[in-house]
Amino acid sequence: MNTMISNGYLENLIRSWQKPAAASLSWFDQLRANAMDNVNTLRMPTTHDEEWRFTDISPLSRLPYPAAYAAPQLQSSDIKHCYLAEAICRLVFVDGQYAPDLSNISNNAGAIIGNLSSLVAAHGDTIARYLGQLAEFQNDVFTALNTAFLHDSACIIIPQNVSVTTPIHLLFITTQKEITSYPRCLLIAESGSNATVVEDYVTTEEAAYVTNSVVEMNLADTAHVSHIRIQRDNQQAFHIGNCTVSLAQASQYYSVSITLGAYISRYNLNVTLAGEGAECTTDGLVLISGRQLADTHTFIDHVKPHGKSRQLHKCIVDGMAHGVFNGKIMVRPHAQLTDSSQLSRNLLLTNKARIDTKPQLEIFTDDVKCAHGATVGQLDKEEIFYLKSRGLSDLTARNLLTYAFGGEVIDRISISSLKRELEEIVLARTQIS
């Protein structure tokens, strides 16, 4: 099984990788070469690996999709509907390649925003300090692959005490079938800065493709970052996303992740509370149907005292879909006075739907307040009865309750146009007779 997987997907990618010329071994090429060395030592995970127990990605082996290099042709009018009204600052990547004509970075409100290659001359040292450093590629084959094929990347540097009031929209569009794209993003929030980033995955393609994304965020002291992630790939696609966040003293990270698409998707969110008094909120909503599988793994690592973390993860599983959640909270020795809570709530709409959830606590210090909970069930009969007694039909009552279940997470998104759009998507998904 293992060899079969590596023979297909992995081997193909390894073969297609072009070794940089030895003469031009800059730090960037060195990073890519190191990552490729790691890819060679790693193998594709199987369901025998604890972290991938419920997510079988062996179908990937039959899809030897090469990395996308060809420059895509896309007009602004084609994707206008994907633009966010509030976001005046926008970076667009098509099949992982930066599309300067579609992007708009003129109104950056003091932030340094652009593609990796355009910023590396002026901010090379800063970027080198973080790029590939947060997202460890030593043990994760997908992060290693992304780093090995690293070419274009969204780079955002928010200078000290700069507050960017409008959201920064990162739009990743897949337009070709049977390719692998490697979206990448690096955000460096300097001390006292404030920003909102929307990471948005959309597609114009109907057939299968692979998205393997890596996001790195470093928040300096008292920085404040709000991160909204929306994954709406088509129902044939594979999506593997990794996001690593490091929080310095008294910084705050707030994230909402919405998963709607992909045949098989996996999102790993790793947040390290590396400074005292750091706070994070990591909410998620997964809405899947048909034969979709959505797997969310989060890891909140409390390293220093006085950290606070909050998490609400919800899954609505329809049809024969399969939702997986693994939420690990670690409280390291000496991380005294940590306050952490986590809730995994799951709604099964049909009797073929399936949920595997594992909220996990690992605590190595005594003076902490940690709680977690998980529920799995269907809609409450009494709630349905109440609505029916008020004259609603059974279907309307069910739809309303399902919508409200998901609405709790969507409500936490601060951008109103995006919120409205997502509400409509959820409503449309629930309006099934």
Partner 1 sequence: MSAVLQNLVNQPYRHGFVTEIESDIAPKGLNEEIIRLISSKKNEPEWLLAFRLQAYEKWLSMTEPRWQNVKYPEIDFQSISYYSAPKPKKKLASMDEVDPELLRTFEKLGVPMHERAALAGVAVDVIFDSVSVATTYKEKLAEVGIIFCSISEAVHTHPELVKQYLGTVVPTGDNFYAALNSAVFTDGSFCFIPKGVKCPMDLSTYFRINTEGSGQFERTLIIAEEGASVSYLEGCTAPRFDTNQLHAAVVELIALDNAEIKYSTVQNWYAGDEKGVGGIYNFVTKRGLAKGVNSRISWTQVETGSAITWKYPSCILRGDNSVGEFYSVAVTNNYQQADTGTKMIHIGRNTRSTIVSKSISAGHSNSSYRGLVRVAPTAENARNYSQCDSMLIGDQCGANTFPYIQVNNNSAKVEHEASTSKIGEDQLFYFLQRGIGAEEAVSMIINGFCKEVFQQLPMEFAVEATKLLSFKLEGSVG
Nearer to partner 1, 179 or 349 (CB): 349
Q: How far is the CB of 400 from partner 1 (least distance, A)?
A: 18
Nearer to partner 1, 237 or 349 (CB): 349
Q: 184-189 and 154-158: which strand pairing?
A: parallel
Nearer to partner 1, 25 or 432 (CB): 432
* CA torsion angle 257 341 133 233 (round to 10): -20
Q: How far is the CB of 340 from partner 1 (least distance, A)?
A: 9
Nearer to partner 1, 351 or 433 (CB): 351
* Structure tokens belonging to residue 8: 């297909």
Q: How far is the CB of 87 from partner 1 (least distance, A)?
A: 38
Map tokens 């340094």 to a residue: 112
Map tokens 């409503």 to a residue: 427
Q: How far is the CB of 333 from partner 1 (least distance, A)?
A: 6
Q: Is 316 exposed, middle or buried, given 0-12, 13-18 or 19+ CB atoms closer than 10 A?
A: buried
**Amino acid in position 317:** V
Nearer to partner 1, 364 or 386 (CB): 364
Q: Which residues in this chain contact partner 1 in the complex, by CB under 8 A? A: 50, 333-334, 336, 346, 348-378
Instruction: Report the alpha-carbon distance of residue 255 to residue 414 in Å, rounded.
Output: 11
Q: How far is the CB of 255 from partner 1 (least distance, A)?
A: 23
Map tokens 């310095």 to a residue: 248
Q: How far is the CB of 399 from partner 1 (least distance, A)?
A: 16
Nearer to partner 1, 109 or 337 (CB): 337
Closest among 414, 386, 413 to 401, alpha carbons compared: 386
| Helix, strand, coil tally for the chain in percent (to 5) | 25, 35, 35
What are the angstrom distances between the C-alpha of 184 and each of 115, 122, 149, 200?
10, 20, 10, 12
